[in-house]
Structure 1
Amino acid sequence: MKFATYSSEGATYYGAVTDAGLIALNDRFPEWSTLFDAVQADGLGKLAEAAEGRPVTHSDVTYEMVLPNARRILCVGVNFPDRNAEYKDGSAQPKYMSLFPRFASGFTGHDRPLIRPPENQTLDYEGEVAIVIGKGGRRIKQSDAYDHIAALTLCNEGTIRDWVRHAKFNVTQGKNWDKSGAMGPWLVPFTEAAQLDEARIVTRVNGAVRQDDVLSRMMHPIRREIEYISTFMTLEPGDIIVTGTPTGSGARLDPPQYLKPGDVVEVEVDGIGILRNTVEDEAV
């Protein structure tokens, strides 16, 4: 079963996603005001039980960023071998992973527009799998890492490329423009290793494949990401790790092909779904 945050007729809900529509579950769990609260309480199983046999409550909905009040989002950069080669700096596989923070305000939901700001038009796409931590911990061993994942979702880690070059040692300002990226459409509970170990990620722009790779080729696998990150910080339920994007972003094409209004970007992983977004200029 899948779970989403969505709005309908001016109200925001969380609930179960079915082929027929969505089943609001807020009323069944007043102690969990958001889907984030349910994740923190290890409540996805209870949500699934509550949804069984209940009728669809909403069919005309607007998807929101799946965990709009997520407190901590860490992104892993340059995590596929071909992506590392794109930099053409002769560097070998790095010993340690690159990390940077993103904030929930930088993401919108499925079928919503990515926003291109007037200050710069180098809006780029990055299709990725995101994992949601369900069980916290510190210094987590790789052999135990998957036990700490509650759910999976998809991310288009939209980036204003010129703004990642504003400083020598960080990319934060290019990665956090309001609604420049998307996350969703929903959470898929993590139940077996094959959901990640056998996953293929594909990103399309206007129907043309731009990124296509398998997670098993990551230079720093997800087990290692959890181990490494939990070495310096205690992971908490609801934390999100955006695991890395394959080669093929618009900035690395010749010539570069950045996103423009009217474009449609799709990020797809079998077993999780499709995250689809259009592109619009910010209204100022």
Structure 2
Amino acid sequence: MKKTIFSALLLLPLLMLSACRSALPGEEVMQNLINRSADLDSYHQFVALTTTTAKEDLNGATAVNEQYTTSDATLFPEEKSGYGKRIDKNSNYPATKSDFYVTPEVGYIRTDDTDWTAYATPDVPLATLQVYPLETFIELSQIIEEYGTLELDGDEYLLSFSGSDDALNKELNYLFQTLPTEQTDYEIAIHLDAESFYLTEFHYRSTAIHSDQKTTVTTELTGEFDLYNQAQKLKTVPDFNPAESIAETADSSF
């Protein structure tokens, strides 16, 4: 009995040490995020983007338009290949579904189960597929680390910002290529795994008021990232139609 108690007492400090992780400085956390993400050979991401525009007309009535996009992609950066699907919906129109398959030489897109269309480079389907690439959210993390707060919460780092800031507003408008406005409030939360420093999920919401246009634009961006260096390639290649025309596009890497 005494031996059992003594063993338990020896284990207790070890358990306490393993449970109490020391928080790293923000710059070191960001550098770890950048370094680990740069060496990825594969990952999976799911991103949803919703934009709601409320505009008041001359009679005081408010018209609301909503657009949303969901993207489910598995990517292999080193091989410049990937596959996935995307759904687009405008509240005034039916939804469309697109499938993607990308090789280092050619990118293929199929919309609403029609025939596959080939593109000269993977840039076109990948840019459409991802909504925003992983690199965008790494840049977003760096911006929030500068203007917001970073804390170690259990087994993850939480980056967050709530409110408005002119300098932050300019950087985010540049990052997402959106129209700037002086009246924008943000609610942002980004989660990083405390051990691997990989981005796991994020929640982004901005509310921009354009007083001169009597318009309020609300943008909600959410996402999840997983299967780092564990994503599986397609077992079979889709049955492409070789007769499909190839679109002329500029060549560049993603």
State whether TM-score is above 0.5.
no
Greater RCO (CA < 8 Å, at least 6 residues apart)? 1
Q: Which structure shows the higher helix fraction?
A: 2
- TM-score normalized by structure 2? 0.29
Which is richer in strand?
2
Q: In terms of Rg, which structure is larger? A: 2
TM-score norm. by structure 1 comes to 0.27
